Each structure stands twice: as structure tokens, then as C-alpha cells.
Chain A
């Protein structure tokens, strides 16, 4: 089980909250054995595809620095903004992840240490490449969670092989793993720029 220390000021105070691997792909990857992706205290994170902010709340427990959470849908962004008002170290960015100009403007030139992407869309890989070209350098840790079913309905192993070949042209693949008991037909990559 994975727990994070709760930072929010609430009244019957809980010291620790459980991080559920069934709801979060980052946690599922930690449970599968990749322990170097636990963010350190001085990490600045760019999180693409934040949704309502379940995972983001746990990341904000772990780091003291800022998190940029990008989300495109209005209904999902409302709970995210409410979370950001409570926590004070999450910057919610209401924008498409393909719109790099706006994200760049909203980040005010901050350098990031970790880039996480979880957007179940057909051009998932292209979005990652676009963003990493702009924001990442050699030292940034790039985390990528792949949903094979949103790319193609064919056999997931085949899609996985095609995607890894695409990624090899732009990145160094440090670790790759399937998230099988927690998320079926999902894969997780730890990458760095060449």
C-alpha cells in the first residue's frame, strides 16, 4: 500500500491518505516496482491530462514546489480549480495540451524536473513529443502512460511495439512495464531525452 502525508488543513485531521493504484496510473507504476519515479521534495511537475485532480492531490502532498496541471474539459476543470484553491501549490491551466503557446505563457519560464502525460487520445505520442521538445531537457524525467485501446482496436501487444519504435527515435527508454492487474491494456514508460 502507498500512503502520502496529508498537507491540507482540515478538521478531524488525517495524517496520511491512501494512494489508490486502481485510480492512479502513477501509483500503479510505483506498486509494480519502479521506485525512482516517486517525486522528490524540490520537483517542479508539468502534468498533462489532470482531470479532476486525484493524482495531482497526492503529488502536491509529496513536493513543496509548484505543479502545473493541464486540463481541457470544463466540467473536469471546475473540481481541479477548487482543489487548487485549497492546496496553494497547484496551478490549474485550462487549455488543450496541443496548445503549447498558451502553456508556455502560463508557466512564466519555470523549468520543470518531471513531465507526466496521461491523455487517452489517438495522437498521444505526438503530444508527448511536442511538449518534451519545448519544456524538457536531458535531466528531466519523462513519464508516459499509454492506453493502447485509444490508439487502435488491434491486439495491444502490436500497438505497444509500434509505439516503442516511434518513441525510440526521440527518447531513451529507461524502463517500460505493463500495468496489468491495476489497469488492463495500459503500459507505462520512463523516458529521458537524447
Chain B
């Protein structure tokens, strides 16, 4: 067989396989990061985040300029052959987010309304795809956990002791190198079930964090193998 034909076959075949492998957790990560940006900065522009989403839906397009990309995104219906597939509800969410944006600078027009709406959208998506584990932990914490690791497939393979201290990496490595005390909790610190804000003492909170992480790791696996995994 000639080289050109081998290259063409491989490009077509791997495009199909990549299309199958793109998971829906990317859209959860997208909205979580937007919610975090809105909390962290006063009035950020969203060209970079929009480009991330655009390249997931249309991975092989040649558009580089963010302003043209933004205009293209306003018209498009998010229906692609070789990228991430969104259902009707999710398309509505993305369109709602784009309607919040300003045409000239790609910044948010009415921030107070937008923050509430985006947090609601993020919680809805998390509850849809992770029904079991979202009953244990709040939706925004779950989103942060998945976004910091990089995907639901990675976090479902982690032991519970790792999930307990995701987000406390600096303290963990300080403990390993300089033998300071070990961190008890990471991102799950804010959860109501640990109850630091209600006045639970740190030692008791450490125990609760361990138990919560144990149950969370089990539930994440159930959700992953029901909704995301394609193996039989």
C-alpha cells in the first residue's frame, strides 16, 4: 500500500476515535472555570475560555483570531461531526452564556445576574451527570475537584486518600520534604458535611474529611461507569 493512502486512512480513523473519546465532563469543567474566574477577578474577558470550548466542538477549524471566533460562535448551532456533541439543553446553556457577553470587549455586561445564573447552570450539569456523588458533596466543590484533576476518568481511578487532599498539594509536599504535619483536607474543606464553619474542631473535622472522601470515591466510580465509560 502507498504511503499517501496509509496516512489518509489513519487520519480518518483517528478522527473517528477521538470523536468517540471526548467526554461530556469537558462542559462541566468549562462552566466551573468560568464561575471561578468570575469570583477571582473583577471583570475578566472571556476570549480565551471561548476559544477552549470552540476548539473542543470544532477541533480542526483554522480560525485563530479571537474576535472572528466570537462572531462565528454567535451564529453557530454547535452541531459538529468530529468534536464534542452537545444535547439541546447544553446548547441552550452555552447560548445563554454568550448572550451575557459584551460585543466589543467580550466582558460580562450585568455581573450580578450572570454569577447567579452560571452557578445554577454548573450545578444543574453536575447533578445531571453525577447524580450519586452530588448528593454527598456540593456541586461547586465537585466541579472544582474534577477541574483540578483534569477529568472524571482520572478522578475515578484515584484512591480516596488522594481525593481527600486534592488542592492541598503544597502542604503535602512540604510535609514530605520537611516533615511538617500532614494536611487533613483539601478542596472538600468547604463542604457542609465537614462543618468547619459551624465550629467543629480541626481534629474531628479531619476524621469527617476521611470518611467523606471514602464515600465520595465509591460514588464517583458508580457515576463514571454508568454515564461516561464506553467499555462493556
- Report which A residues bind B (CB closer than 8 A): 65-66, 68, 74, 77-78, 81-82, 84-85, 88-95, 106-110
| Residue with the highest number of chain A CB atoms closer than 10 Å, among B9, B11, B14, B21 | B14
Question: When the two chains form their complex, are residues A81 and B6 in contact, meaning their CB atoms are under 8 A apart?
Answer: no
Residues of B within 8 A of A74 (CB): 18, 21-22
Q: In the complex, are the beta carbons of A81 and B14 less than 8 A apart? A: yes
- Known A-B contacts A85-B11, A91-B10, A92-B11; the reply to A77 vs B18 at CB < 8 A is yes
Say whether B7 contacts A82, CB under 8 Å: no
How many pairs, one residue from A and one from B, have CB atoms within 8 Å of each other in the complex?
Answer: 56
**Cβ-based interface call for B192 (8 A):** no
Contacts of A95 in B (CB 8 A): 17
- Interface size in chain B (residues, C-beta < 8 A): 18
Question: Would you call B1 and A108 a contact (CB within 8 A)?
Answer: yes
Q: Would you give the shortest CB distance from A23 to chain B, in whole angstroms?
A: 21
Flag if A65 contacts B3 (CB, 8 Å): yes
17 A–B contacts from the bound complex (CB under 8 Å): A66-B7, A74-B21, A77-B14, A78-B55, A78-B59, A81-B11, A81-B14, A81-B15, A81-B18, A91-B6, A93-B14, A94-B14, A95-B17, A106-B9, A106-B13, A107-B6, A109-B1
Interface residues of B in 1-47 (CB under 8 A from A): 1, 3-4, 6-7, 9-11, 13-15, 17-18, 21-22
Which residues of A are found within 8 Å of B18, using beta-carbon distances?
Answer: 74, 77-78, 81, 94
- Across the interface, name the chain A residue whose C-beta is closest to B176: A153
Q: Are A66 and B21 closer than 8 Å at their CB atoms?
A: no
CA distance A170 to B42 in the complex (A): 60
Contacts of B60 in A (CB 8 A): 78, 81-82, 85
Contact A90 B1 (CB under 8 A): no
Render B140-165 as a binary contact track against A, CB cut-off 8 A, 1 for contact: 00000000000000000000000000
Q: Is the CB of A66 within 8 A of B22?
A: no
The CA of A65 and the CA of B6, in the complex, are separated in Å by 12
A84 / chain B contacts, CB cutoff of 8 Å: 7, 10-11
Please list the 8 inter-chain residue pairs (A to B) with the smallest Cβ-Cβ separation, ordered nearest first. A94-B14, A91-B10, A74-B21, A94-B17, A78-B59, A66-B3, A108-B1, A91-B7
**Contact residues in B for A81 (Cβ distance below 8 Å):** 11, 14-15, 18, 59-60
Residue picked from A93, A94, A106, A109, most chain B C-beta under 10 Å: A94
Cβ of A92 and Cβ of B14 under 8 Å apart? yes
Nearest B residue to A91, CB-CB: B10
Which partner residue on chain A sits nearest B83 by CB separation?
A78
- Select one of B4, B6, B21 contacting A108, CB under 8 A: B6
Which one of A82, A85, A91 has the greatest number of beta carbons of chain B within 10 Å?
Answer: A91
A84 to B4 alpha-carbon distance, docked (Å):
11
Nearest CB of A to B35, in Å: 22
Residues from chain B with a CB closer than 8 A to the CB of A110 are: 6
With A78-B59, A91-B6, A108-B1 given, name 6 new contacts (CB 8 A): A81-B60, A84-B7, A91-B11, A93-B10, A95-B17, A106-B13
